Structure formats: structure tokens, C-alpha cells
Structure 1
């Protein structure tokens, strides 16, 4: 595994830490008091993956990884909702570009792993991705 550049790691951390302060717009738009933030949403989804039983056919660790990366793009593009009238293909293009930016700070090994997890989640191409999408 390649060594990570500390300055780039800090850029990554600064970007994703934005999610601690970024509201989930759907709740904010309808004036829900004390609504959750994006990082809180991702945390809750991650915690729910621990509830998978040992007899589950799903890979619990993969589900946790998917839950933690699924909304990272929102640290750059924000939480785009249907109320924003952004066409679905445009939303996906913006998020994909953001994920490439975010993961570019992590070197090829880790960056590619996170990007691939994001693409797996978006494509709902595995049972784990479908499960995590349903958690959201």
C-alpha cells in the first residue's frame, strides 16, 4: 500500500468533516426542528449494519463501508433533493465529479477503493448495496 501524503489526508478530512455541519435538506426544507445532519445520517446507517445477524448472507463489513461512503459527495455538492429540480443525470454527474475530487486526496489504493464502493452503492449492484440503499 502506498504512503499517504499528510497534507492530502488533511484536505480529505476537512472536506468530509463538512458533513458534520451540513443539514439533510429534505428535513430543513420542511422546517423540522433539530433535524439530522448528513454525517449523523451516515453514522446511523453505519450503526444499523451491526444489527445484521451472524446468519445473514450479507457481508456486514462491506455494508458498513458502503454506509460510510454513500453520501461523501455531499461534502462538496450538498444534499440535492427533488425540490432542487436538478435532473437525475446531472445530480449523478455532479456527485461523481465530487467523489473523484474527494478520493483524489487519498492516493490510488484507498481512493480507488472508496470510489468503487460509492459506484457499487449507486449502481445497487450487490445485495449489500441494495440493503444499505434500503437503510437510507
Structure 2
């Protein structure tokens, strides 16, 4: 394979996802990495995928794998801060293009197209990827050993526009919202 060197370089650079930290915490109080978030997101899709026989699960999994890939270069912006930094998608896409520039052109095009589709949230797979992404984040916030001033109440509205796509997602969200309200002291 003539492009193997570029692929290896990409994979080496993408390893930064393991060291890129998010604002959430694991159940033992360690800061969660972007790679850990992506792993559980894809696990959610794997175990819930059979509920979606009309969905291209392989495409959905790929979309979930690449959705935060641009964060490997310049980090994650916590959800509460994303409102103030409206250029997040543009920055992440530019970082994604930089990160994938050693891939064969067709592979880079596929990765970027998956990311673009996720960002647009117009297809069934993209809407589900967005929904599962938000649900995984809330699940981790509820499960994590967070600092005393952690704002659980923020999650009661977080991603609401993406988690009303179908009955299963709504049911999942309802379960998480009950736990979030309890943790926030608003139940």
C-alpha cells in the first residue's frame, strides 16, 4: 500500500484524542478524555443499534468515531462555553482537515464527509449520532465523580433539540433527566 506512511502518520496524530480532556469526570474522579467519550458513544450505538433496522449502523458508527476528531488538535470546548464561541464547528472542521491531510484523498474525503453530515444533522444517521452524543455526555455527567460546584441543572436542557428524534431516545432522555434532576436537587 503506497499511502501507508500517511495513514500511520494520521493514526499517530489522532492518538492525541486519548490525551485531549473533556470537562466531565469518570466515576473515579479522573477527567474524561475525548477518546473515552467516543468509545462509550460507539458502544451505545452498538448495543442500541438493533432497535434501528432502518439505519445504516456502520455509517452511524463511523460518524460517531469521527465526530470529535478535530478536537485532537485544539481540545474540547465544554458545552456551557460553546454558546459564547460560535465558531466551534468552523474551527473543528479546519482542525479535522489539518489532522487528516496525510490520508489518501479518498479516505480524507470520506472522513470529512461523515463529519460534515454529522454537523448538518439532516440524515437519520446524523440525527441519531447527535442524540447519542448528547445522551452519552449527560450519562457521564450523572455517573461521574464531579466537583461540588458541578452544574447538573445545565444538563436538563442540554441537547434537548437533538434528543427528541424518536421514542427510544426520548425514553433514554427521560431516565437521564430524572437522575439529573435528583443530582441537581430540583426533583
Normalising by structure 1, report the TM-score. 0.84
Q: Residues 78, 55 of structure 1: CA spacing in aligned structure 2 closer, same or farther, 3 A cutoff?
A: closer
The alignment's C-alpha RMSD in Å is 2.1
**Corresponding residue SS for 2:76:** coil
Q: State how far apart, in whole Å, the 2-side matches of 1:130 and 1:78 are.
A: 24
How many pairs are equivalent? Answer: 129
| Structure 2 stretches lacking a partner, 5+ long | 134-187
SS at match of 1:36: strand
What's the counterpart of residue 54 of structure 2?
57
Structure richer in strand, relative to its length: 2
Bigger radius of gyration among the two = 2
1:92 to 70, 85, 89: 89
- State the 1:19 CA deviation: 0.8
CA contact (8 A) 1:80 1:86 kept: no
Give the equivalent residue in structure 1 for 2:101: 104
CA distance in 1, matches of 2:2, 2:130: 32
Query: Is it true that 1:71 corresponds to 2:68 in the alignment?
Result: yes
Q: Give 1:87 shift.
A: 2.3
- What TM-score does the superposition give when structure 2 sets the normalisation length? 0.63
**Please, which runs of 5 or more residues in structure 1 have no aligned partner?**
none
Q: Distance in 1 between matches of 2:103 and 2:132?
A: 27
CA distance in 2, matches of 1:132, 1:55: 12
